[in-house]
């Protein structure tokens, strides 16, 4: 038998787990600053919940891990955090609105494996449910901007509005029943380029004139307000006009530090968006090593119908949310030169015959709040130094009989190699300041 991980899964050893903790911690502190609270739902859901016609759709259902419990009940592993949130809202009818929650957890998809695609991966979702005005959309965009600032990644947040996009498609002379499939094609513009998109639109039955007009509109140039003004003149349908108005209201709510760019070609693949859509992209011209990251680092939008459809009973649940790509954010941080912290341990105590004394010193360092490891295997100095270096611990403290007699200990800075003999309180001071 070969011991190995299941296909498409990963381990996160200390340095990877610590980076993830750091990113998640930063994100959560921003979410909480904006008044969002945590929700945890189970990994296992009833299969019929996951398969609801208002849930993730057929494509995703094909990739859903499905099993039966001992009672023969069909269950599945969640493929996202949105469907469980809808189920939570349905099973908690007295929940106060607005409901502002964040959730970070593993989701599962039994799909084909590619580089950067896993069968078990972490999602990080923030949603506000129950707010119709565009202030909510603006809040989510602003929060995303602040989260990336704190992560020290510069981003541009591209925004669009589905109603406006429908209006553009209508103005191009394409019938409303084709809007959804056209949007799926437009979503590929960034990835495939203009020509491929034009070809696909033609294959879907759009006339050459319609395609020309459509592409002209979605690639309109200028400042955000110039683009809006130009498109406002083109769009005739009520839905399109409403979209422009929503977009304007949202942009008005944003403070002027938010690096937001109206991009009428932004589509977002998912069918359930009803208004605002947005995607955050890295904007780091001075860091060419980040150029290879072309995908969005966070994305989301407004979906006013989905939860109500899902829950049923006629009640409406307007909602807007965003999802952060933890894997890609971590990649970006590492490419930016962020060093992985290899351990949380500040110091490794090495007893040189003075085992009992060394244990007391370790206990005292811990009382001072200093993360302390200690050799418990009575190894020699050389092996202990190798161990501390391999683990990435910044300091080693030697406790020998000579030092003990003098009430001192020897502190070695593992980076510089410098050693000094100091009192316990002096050592504690240095180690604390390092932290």
Contacts (CB under 8 A) with its own copies, residues 317-356: 343-345, 348, 355
Enumerate residues 185-214 that contact its own copies by CB under 8 A: none
Minimum CB distance to its own copies smaller for 7 or for 405: 7
Residue 60 binding its own copies, by CB under 8 A:
no
Size, binding site for its own copies by CB under 8 A: 91
Q: Binding its own copies by CB under 8 A: which of 79, 119, 250, 357?
A: 119
CB of 386 to its own copies, least distance (A): 8
- Residue 341 DSSP label: P
Minimum CB distance to its own copies smaller for 143 or for 172: 143
Enumerate residues 64-93 that contact its own copies by CB under 8 A: 65-67, 69-71, 73, 75, 77, 87-88, 90-92
Q: Binding its own copies by CB under 8 A: which of 376, 380, 423, 435?
A: 376
Residue 435 binding its own copies, by CB under 8 A:
no
Minimum CB distance to its own copies smaller for 130 or for 224: 130
3-state secondary structure 87-129: HHHHHCCCCCCCEEEEEEEEEECCCCCCCCCCCEEEEEEEEEE
- Rounded Cα distance between 276 and 265, Å, is 13
CB of 409 to its own copies, least distance (A): 17
CB-neighbour burial class of residue 159 (10 A; exposed 0-12, middle 13-18, buried 19+) = buried
CB contact at 8 A, 41 and 84: yes
Beta carbons within 8 Å of 327's beta carbon, 6+ residues apart = 116, 118, 121, 122
Minimum CB distance to its own copies smaller for 140 or for 299: 140
Q: Binding its own copies by CB under 8 A: which of 22, 24, 61, 110?
A: 110
CB of 390 to its own copies, least distance (A): 5
Enumerate residues 2-41 that contact its own copies by CB under 8 A: 3-7, 9-14, 16-18, 20-21, 32-35, 37-41
- Rounded Cα distance between 237 and 242, Å, is 9
Structure tokens at 311: 């829950």
CB of 304 to its own copies, least distance (A): 14
CB of 18 to its own copies, least distance (A): 7
Backbone angles phi, psi at 277, to 5 degrees: -130, 150
Enumerate residues 274-303 that contact its own copies by CB under 8 A: none
CB of 148 to its own copies, least distance (A): 15
Minimum CB distance to its own copies smaller for 201 or for 311: 311
Q: Which residue has the tokens 């020309």?
A: 212
Residue 359 binding its own copies, by CB under 8 A:
yes
Of the candidates 19, 17, 10, 123, the one whose C-alpha atom is nearest the C-alpha of residue 335 is 19
Enumerate residues 139-158 that contact its own copies by CB under 8 A: 139
Side-chain half-sphere exposure of 176, counting CA atoms within 13 A: 7
Backbone angles phi, psi at 21, to 5 degrees: -55, -40
Minimum CB distance to its own copies smaller for 6 or for 115: 6
Query: β-strand 260-262 against 155-161: which pairing, if any?
Result: parallel
Enumerate residues 377-396 that contact its own copies by CB under 8 A: 377-378, 387, 390-391
Minimum CB distance to its own copies smaller for 98 or for 232: 98
Minimum CB distance to its own copies smaller for 91 or for 219: 91
- Rounded Cα distance between 37 and 88, Å, is 14
Q: Give the three-state DSSP class for 66.
A: strand
Helices 179-186 and 194-203 cross at an angle (nearest 10°) of 160
Residue 163 binding its own copies, by CB under 8 A:
no
Q: Binding its own copies by CB under 8 A: which of 23, 52, 169, 274?
A: 52
Structure tokens at 143: 């929060």
Angle at 359 between CA 354 and CA 364, to 5 degrees: 125
Residue 106 binding its own copies, by CB under 8 A:
yes
Residue 426 binding its own copies, by CB under 8 A:
no
Q: Binding its own copies by CB under 8 A: which of 60, 61, 184, 253?
A: 253
Beta strand residue intervals within 132-198, DSSP E = 155-161
């Amino acid at each position: 038998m070969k011991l190995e991980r299941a296909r498409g899964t990963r381990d996160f050893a200390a340095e990877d787990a610590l980076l993830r903790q750091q990113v998640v911690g930063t994100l959560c502190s921003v979410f909480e600053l904006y008044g969002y609270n945590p929700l945890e739902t189970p990994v296992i859901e009833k299969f019929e919940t996951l398969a609801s016609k208002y849930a993730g759709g057929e494509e995703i259902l094909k990739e859903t891990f499905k099993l039966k419990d001992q009672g023969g009940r069909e269950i599945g592993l969640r493929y996202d955090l949105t469907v469980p949130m809808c189920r939570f809202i349905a099973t908690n009818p007295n929940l106060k609105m607005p409901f502002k929650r964040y959730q970070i957890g593993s989701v599962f998809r039994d799909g084909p494996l590619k580089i950067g695609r896993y069968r078990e991966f972490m999602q990080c979702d923030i949603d506000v449910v129950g707010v119709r005005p565009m202030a909510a959309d603006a809040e989510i965009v602003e929060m995303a901007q602040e989260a990336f600032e704190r992560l020290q990644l510069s981003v541009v947040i591209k925004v669009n509005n589905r109603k406006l996009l429908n209006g553009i498609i209508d103005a191009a002379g394409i019938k409303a029943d084709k809007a959804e499939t056209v949007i799926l094609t437009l979503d590929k513009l960034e990835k495939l380029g203009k020509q491929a998109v034009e070809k696909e639109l033609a294959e879907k039955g759009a006339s050459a004139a319609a395609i020309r007009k459509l592409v002209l509109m979605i690639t309109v140039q200028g400042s955000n307000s110039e683009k809006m003004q130009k498109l406002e003149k083109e769009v005739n349908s009520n839905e399109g006009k409403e979209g422009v108005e929503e977009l304007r209201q949202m942009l008005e709510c944003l403070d002027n530090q938010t690096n937001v760019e109206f991009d009428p070609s932004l589509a977002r693949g998912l069918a359930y968006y009803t208004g605002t859509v947005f995607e955050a992209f890295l904007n780091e011209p001075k860091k060419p090593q980040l150029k290879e990251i072309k995908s969005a680092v966070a994305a989301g939008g407004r979906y006013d119908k989905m939860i109500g459809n899902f829950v049923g009973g006629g009640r409406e649940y307007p909602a807007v949310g965003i999802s952060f790509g933890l894997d890609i954010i971590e990649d970006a941080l590492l490419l930016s030169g962020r060093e992985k912290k290899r351990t949380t341990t500040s110091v490794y105590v090495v007893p040189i015959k003075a085992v009992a004394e060394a244990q007391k010193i370790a206990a005292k360092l811990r009382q001072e709040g200093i993360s302390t490891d200690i050799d418990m295997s009575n190894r020699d100095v050389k092996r202990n130094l190798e161990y501390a270096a391999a683990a990435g611990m910044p300091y080693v403290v030697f406790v020998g009989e000579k030092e003990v007699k003098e009430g001192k200990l020897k502190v070695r800075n593992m980076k510089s190699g410098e050693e000094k003999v100091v009192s316990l309180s002096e050592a504690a001071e240095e180690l604390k300041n390092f932290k």
